[in-house]
Every structure is written in C-alpha cells, then in structure tokens.
Chains A and B, each alone.
Chain A
C-alpha cells in the first residue's frame, strides 16, 4: 500500500489560512470516513488534531478543520499563529486491516 500524498511544504503569514491536502485512492481516503490529521513539533510526539475526517478532539482549537472530497482530504488552519509551525501528517484506514500515513507537510509561518 502506497503512502498518501501530501505536499512537502506549505506556508502562510500570521492570521492567514492555509490548507494542506492529502490524496489517496478509492481504497483508502475515498472509501472510508476514517481520515485523521496530526501535528508534530520537532522532537515531540504527534498530536491528534482531527479524526473521522471532520471531528476535533476536545482541546483542539476550532482554527483547525478537516474536510474530504473524493479521494482527497484536507486540513485547513485558519488564523495562522507562530506556534502552528510544525509538521502535519494525515492517515487513513485503507481496508484489509491496514492503516497508512501521508508523507508529511512542513508548515512554515512566515
């Protein structure tokens, strides 16, 4: 199973919105509503931001939102803040008892 495709990098200025895409196939992203997003700061463990495409765990700011269209899921970060600078990963259930991640996107706050 191939990894999900994410852009290697994204950037935005403070206060702006940035959207990160996560492209798979009909066998993973497109076939199930089990897409999650994680934020990882350098040297730290990943943190869950979004699960089941659009759901936010308690404590995650509503500046983070998720969506999906066809085989592509997206994470939107609104009102960018300096502390949002981090790596972001998507993951999806891929059927056949398999879970796959995207390659990660480095978000830079300009």
Chain B
C-alpha cells in the first residue's frame, strides 16, 4: 500500500522555524517527484514546493521563496520542508503529495502548522 505520513507540525512563533517531514512507503520513492501543498483553515489548496527524484530541480511558490527549503533523503524514503521566518499567513494544514504530470496523485493526511505568538 502506498502511504505518505507527515509529521513535525505544531505551534511556531512569528519569525521562527519548523521542519516538516513526510515518511513514504509502498513505492519507489527515489524515482518520483514530490510536493508540499497547504490548506489554510477553511480555505482552498495552495501549492508550496516541488522537488524531482534526484533533487536536481526544485521550485517554490512566490509566497514562500527565500523562506522555505524543500529536500529529500531517498535512502530514508523521506521528504522534508524547512520553514524559516514563519508568518501568520503560513498557518495551514501541510500535505505532502506525489507528482503525476504537474498534478498530485497520492496525498498524505497532513500536518497542522500554526504560527502565533
């Protein structure tokens, strides 16, 4: 069974940092591009970041560029999102999602990030 399990969410201070993780299983992680997608409470979906299987290509949404860093460890079948300089508007449920032709075919259940003092 293909599974994505996010962790690392919680309460972050404005200007602070959090690191999210996504543990995967049931597929050949290293050959798939992966993404982070977020959803603010009661709002729609927003793509955050993308990374290819080899980590050779990385993209970010303008809203997080320069503050967030996506990475992966293929030996551990895991995806990460380092979130720095947190803002209130980063408060959201963060999903990791596997790529399929600029879409997302497998999603985790998400990890909640709340930015507040």
Residues of A in contact with B (beta carbons under 8 Å apart)? 1, 3, 32, 34, 36, 38, 45-48, 51-52, 57, 89, 91-93, 97-104
B105 to chain A, nearest CB (A): 5
> 8 A-B pairs, CB-CB below 8 angstroms?
A48-B106, A52-B101, A91-B47, A99-B47, A99-B102, A101-B45, A101-B47, A104-B44
Contact across chains for A46 and B104 when beta carbons are under 8 A apart: yes
Contact across chains for A46 and B45 when beta carbons are under 8 A apart: yes
- A100 to B100, alpha carbons, bound, how many Å? 15
Residues of B in contact with A (beta carbons under 8 Å apart)? 35, 44-47, 50, 59, 61-62, 95, 100-110
Instruction: Give the chain A neighbours of B107 by CB distance below 8 A.
Output: 45-47
Contact across chains for B103 and A51 when beta carbons are under 8 A apart: yes
A1, A3, A46: which has the most chain B beta carbons within 10 Å?
Answer: A46
Extra contacts, 16 of them, besides A45-B109, A98-B62 (Cβ < 8 A), are: A34-B101, A36-B103, A48-B103, A48-B104, A51-B100, A51-B105, A52-B101, A52-B103, A57-B105, A89-B44, A91-B47, A91-B102, A91-B103, A99-B50, A101-B45, A104-B45
Contact of B105 among A48, A89, A98 (CB under 8 A): A48
Contact of B61 among A34, A52, A98, A103 (CB under 8 A): A98
- A107 to B6, alpha carbons, bound, how many Å? 28
The residue of chain A having its C-beta at the shortest distance from the C-beta of B98 within the complex is A48
Instruction: Give the chain A neighbours of B50 by CB distance below 8 A.
Output: 97, 99
- A51 to B5, alpha carbons, bound, how many Å? 23
Contact across chains for A98 and B59 when beta carbons are under 8 A apart: yes
Contact across chains for A89 and B45 when beta carbons are under 8 A apart: yes
B44, B59, B108: which has the most chain A beta carbons within 10 Å?
Answer: B44
B23 to chain A, nearest CB (A): 15
Contact across chains for A36 and B102 when beta carbons are under 8 A apart: yes
- A48 to B50, alpha carbons, bound, how many Å? 17
The residue of chain A having its C-beta at the shortest distance from the C-beta of B103 within the complex is A36
- A98 to B48, alpha carbons, bound, how many Å? 9
